[in-house]
Amino acid sequence: MATASTLAVRQLWRAPLRTAALAVALGSLIALVVAFAVVGDAQVRGLSGALEDNDADLWVLASGSEGALAASRVDPALLETVAAIDGVARVAPIGEVRVGMRIDGGRLVDASLWGIDPDNRAAPPTEVGRPPAQPGQAIADGADRHLGLVPGARVEVVDVAMPLEIVGLTEGRRFASIPTITVPYARWVEVVDGLNPDNDEVFPTAFALSTEPGSDPDRVAAAITAAVPTLLAAPPATLAAQLPGIDGLRSSFGTAALVSLVAVAAATAAFTGLQVEQDRRMLATLRAIGASSRMLARVYQVRVALLVLLGALAASLLIGVAQTLSPPSIPIRLEPRILVAVAGATWAAAALAAGRSLRTIRDGDPADVLRAPA
């Protein structure tokens, strides 16, 4: 094995430019698969994090909304009906509305404004600062720190003279891929009322509820729909998966990562096969002067493994550079688990291709190879 390793390293060292080019090409393809997997996951969380990681047992939406939060309006009069259902420990309204806002008097940006009382289990946990205690206080998702959305920032909602002060930050609770701010429910009602001055009543978007210890959330959900057919109850993570666009985005990134992985494996296998084919005459010569075919195979397999290793290192480097240079909207980061899995699949494909090509060398007569036209 030591001889094979020495020969393989020398082979790679003898053609440093070609080795570097192959390693960078491999690294770029591996980095691509990792980027699709990581960014896809981050995008989905940015669209649905507010629901996906929510701590409430069940959310109740208008059944006609078909899971689309923007289309859900729940009659507040039904709050008591839901609270009276067996297994429901606590139920509270939740509101969501898209608004235009200015952070510290800056440019106008779109935002998702949520109304959830801090003592509601559905409220996002405060990771930095403190939860809102006053009506004019709010917490924001930390993903938008770069916009200035940090504790102490003053937020003005367009068309409503009710400034908000950011007092805390949460993490991973973004919604619709836009800045996400949570205020106490009563303040949310005031904001929506201010945005729609002609309306009679503000309807919550959903109810969030906790079930009693020991009760089955699925049975409680079924009981709610049976009692009020216009309502649909489901765990928030289930609703997150059904949000409009999530399916398309998840499947797009998933398909992209899968096709890229197949391409990496196939391209590496083909490059390896081509390399062996290119060295066919030389390998036949070596066999003709007595080199063992097992030794030659080992040299190539070690060389393939080294190339994939170099490719993985190049991929780590490329991802590291991308992590530093990419804007916050493209959250690329090094995910060792995915990198190892992709490098493993690449190595397996390349080793198989090398093995297959080398078998033809081993099984053939060196004289035939040397006599054949190039």
Partner 1 sequence: MMLATWLVGRDLRRAPSRLLRQAVTLSVLATLAMTLSTLVDTLDRRSTGLLRAVEADLVVFNAEARQQVLRSRVPAPGMIGVGFVDGVHDVGVLSVVPTTVGHAGDQTRATLVGFNARTPAEPTRVLDGRLPTDGEPNIAAVDAALHRTGIEIGDRITLGGSLDVEVVGVIPEARFLQQPTVWVPPEVWARTGARAFPERGYAETLLGVGLAEVQVGRDAAAVAEDVVADLAEEDLDVEVVARREALAAVPGVAAIRATFGVLVILALGVVAIVAAGFALLQADRDRTLHAELRAIGAEPRLLAGVALLRLAALWLTASAVAVVLTGALAAATPAGVPLTVRAPVLVVVITLLGAAVFAGGALGVLRTRRTDPVEALGERW
User: Given candidates 92, 153, 191, 192, which one binds partner 1 under the rule CB under 8 A?
Assistant: 192
Which window, 131-139, 167-175, 304-312, 323-331, contacts partner 1 (CB under 8 A)? 323-331
Q: What does the alpha-carbon distance between residue 12 and residue 6 come to, in Å, rounded to a whole number?
A: 10
User: Given candidates 55, 86, 119, 159, which one binds partner 1 under the rule CB under 8 A?
Assistant: 159
CB nearer to partner 1: pick between 133 and 289: 289
Q: What does the alpha-carbon distance between residue 39 and residue 46 come to, in Å, rounded to a whole number?
A: 10
Residue 60, CB half-sphere, CA atoms under 13 Å: how many?
Answer: 33
What is the DSSP secondary-structure string of 98-109? EEEEEETT--EE
- Give the 3-state secondary structure of residue 165: strand
CB nearer to partner 1: pick between 183 and 246: 246
| Contact flag: residue 356 with partner 1 (CB under 8 A) | no
Which residues, at least 6 apart from 325, have a Cβ–Cβ distance to it below 8 Å?
none
Q: Which amino acid is at 366?
A: P
CB nearer to partner 1: pick between 54 and 275: 275
| Contact flag: residue 330 with partner 1 (CB under 8 A) | yes
| Contact flag: residue 134 with partner 1 (CB under 8 A) | no
Closest approach of partner 1 to the CB of residue 317, in Å: 14
Which residue stretches of the chain are H helix? 2-14, 16-52, 79-83, 185-195, 217-227, 236-242, 246-278, 280-288, 293-325, 336-363, 366-371
Strands (E), 126-205: 128-129, 137-141, 154-157, 164-170, 180-183
278-297 binders of partner 1 (CB under 8 A): 278-279, 282, 286
| Contact flag: residue 108 with partner 1 (CB under 8 A) | yes
CB nearer to partner 1: pick between 65 and 81: 65
8-67 binders of partner 1 (CB under 8 A): 11, 21-22, 25, 28-29, 32, 35-36, 39, 43, 46-47, 63-67
CB nearer to partner 1: pick between 134 and 196: 196
User: Given candidates 3, 6, 292, 329, which one binds partner 1 under the rule CB under 8 A?
Assistant: 329
Q: What does the alpha-carbon distance between residue 336 and residue 295 come to, in Å, rounded to a whole number?
A: 33
Q: What does the alpha-carbon distance between residue 299 and residue 307 come to, in Å, rounded to a whole number?
A: 12
| Contact flag: residue 225 with partner 1 (CB under 8 A) | no
Closest approach of partner 1 to the CB of residue 87, in Å: 26
User: Given candidates 262, 321, 367, 370, which one binds partner 1 under the rule CB under 8 A?
Assistant: 262
- Using a 10 angstrom Cβ sphere, with 0-12 exposed, 13-18 middle and 19 or more buried, the burial of residue 236 is buried
Q: What does the alpha-carbon distance between residue 190 and residue 193 come to, in Å, rounded to a whole number?
A: 5
User: Given candidates 2, 17, 200, 336, which one binds partner 1 under the rule CB under 8 A?
Assistant: 200
Closest approach of partner 1 to the CB of residue 50, in Å: 15
Structure tokens at 17: 């430019």
- Give the 3-state secondary structure of residue 261: helix
- Give the 3-state secondary structure of residue 148: coil
Which window, 83-91, 217-225, 257-265, 302-310, contacts partner 1 (CB under 8 A)? 257-265
Buried b (16+ CB within 10 A) or exposed e, 14-35: eeeeebeebbbbbbebbbbbbb
CB nearer to partner 1: pick between 14 and 337: 14
User: Given candidates 84, 259, 288, 370, which one binds partner 1 under the rule CB under 8 A?
Assistant: 259
Residues within the interface to partner 1 (CB under 8 A): 11, 21-22, 25, 28-29, 32, 35-36, 39, 43, 46-47, 63-68, 70-71, 73, 98, 100, 108, 110, 158-159, 176-178, 192, 196, 198-203, 244-245, 247-249, 251-253, 255-256, 259-260, 262-263, 266-267, 270-271, 273-274, 277-279, 282, 286, 327, 329-330, 374
